Amino acid sequence: MKIALVQMEIKEKQHAENTAHGLEMLEEAAGHCDLAILPEIWTTGYSLGHLQEQAETPGDELIRRLQDMAARHHCALVPGSFPMRWEDGRIYNTALAINAEGKVLSRYGKAHLFGMFHEEDFFASGDRFEVYGLNGVQCASTLCYDMRFPELYRYLALRNAQLILVPAQWPDRRGYAWDVLCRARAIENHLFLAAVNAVGTFKQDVFYGHSRLVDPNGCIIAEAGHGEEIVYADMDPARSEEVRKILNSLADVRLRISVPPFADEDK
């Protein structure tokens, strides 16, 4: 499967411009790959003062355009994430997965909300974790800060995910963590990880870029730089199974461990 990592610049308080530019880059990528991925919160960025008006709803024009694009190019899309009001009336930081026929297969609401950006003041926390098939590959979606919570990735791996997608807005000053976590989540779960970061700025932060596709051994197959670009990379899902046959730590995992109380001398 050929994957396009669409690393775009996201501008503060430029909802219309971001949306148009993201669609333009995605359109370019979709004609040359089997799966195209955008960064997190690419329509609004983290300038969320007008969230109530800018949140999408199921069936809105943006979602229809994304579905049409997928069907026209016969290309699956995980178009990053954007604010979306769900049927319960709450707004979630939402990642959709759209197959090559234009059907929405999965809707993921970010589970771990980033306290430093006060996401909890704007978004509800999601609790639906799905594995879905795109072009014969078992995929799952997570978002940015989720990478710091390995339990989620282990859960998805045990549900037979072969590729985990991570749209993100990750800052340059924590680039070392991006480098380590992308590879760690892939290695410990014997799967591919496609992490698509933004570039640009938000307040004092500069986004790190360095979108990458990582293989089940933690090797970087392809990686973007620090600017706006589209990176194409091929993955063979059979590689995940090959690695698991050689060293299958998932078969040895202990899911239920009782932790004894600390002894006084260990406190």
Q: Which of 201, 200, 226 is nearest to 211 (CA)?
A: 226
* Alpha carbon distance, N-terminus to C-terminus of the chain: 50
Distant-in-sequence, close-in-space partners of 231: CB < 8 Å, separation ≥ 6: 4, 5, 7, 211, 212, 213, 222, 223, 224
Tell me which of 9, 33, 40, 56 is the catalytic residue: 40
Question: Is beta strand 35-37 parallel, antiparallel or unpaired with respect to 2-7?
Answer: parallel
Helix/strand/coil for 239:
helix
Q: Where are the alpha helices (DSSP H) in the chain?
A: 15-30, 51-54, 61-73, 150-158, 175-189, 238-246
With beta carbons less than 8 A apart as the criterion, state whether 179 and 210 touch.
yes
110 is catalytic: yes
144 is catalytic: yes
Q: What is the dihedral of CA 142, 147, 149, 151, to 10 degrees?
A: 60
State both tokens at 35. 């799966």
Tell me which of 33, 56, 75, 110 is the catalytic residue: 110
Tell me which of 56, 144, 182, 223 is the catalytic residue: 144
How far, in Å, CA of 152 to CA of 10, rounded?
Answer: 27
Distant-in-sequence, close-in-space partners of 3: CB < 8 Å, separation ≥ 6: 33, 34, 35, 36, 37, 194, 213, 232, 233, 234, 235
Q: Please give the positions annotated as active site.
A: 40, 110, 144
